[in-house]
Amino acid sequence: MRISWRRLLALLCYFAGILGWCYVGAYMILSKPVWGLVRAFGARQLSVLTLLGAVIQVFVYLSLAGAVWCIGYMLSDYFKDKDKESERRRHG
């Protein structure tokens, strides 16, 4: 199996999607809504509205993380298909 620049680009896009998911899905959720809940609990200011706001933020961040991963996966698939197409043309 020959490694082409399209395969490398496909792999790079796939891993960029995974890293993007990790950043948005894990870091953004832990640093903003969850840490905000911890601080509100520590300050004894935790309320139902604060909790509801955090749940909405977590839902939005997880949806955004899924979209980032999907874009990386779609770009990876696009470059893999282009690579297969060019191999088929080359071999007949």
Domain assignment of residue 73, yes or no: yes
- pLDDT, mean over the chain: 86
| 45 domain residue, yes or no | yes
- Give the model's confidence band at 86: pLDDT under 50 very low, under 70 low, under 90 confident, else very high: confident
What pLDDT is stored for residue 38 in this prediction?
92
Give the pLDDT confidence score for residue 55 in this predicted structure.
Answer: 92
Terminal Cα distance for the chain, rounded: 17
4: exposed, middle or buried (Cβ count in 10 Å: 0-12, 13-18, 19+): middle
User: Is 48 within the bounds of a domain?
Assistant: yes
Is position 91 within any domain? no
Q: What pLDDT digit, counting tens, does each position of 48-78 carry?
A: 999 999 999 989 888 888 899 999 999 988 8
Is there a domain that residue 59 lies in? yes
Q: Who's near 5: CB < 8 A, 6+ residues apart?
A: none
Does the structure show a pLDDT above 70 at 1? no
pTM beyond cutoff 0.75? no
State the residue range of the domain holding 80.
5-86
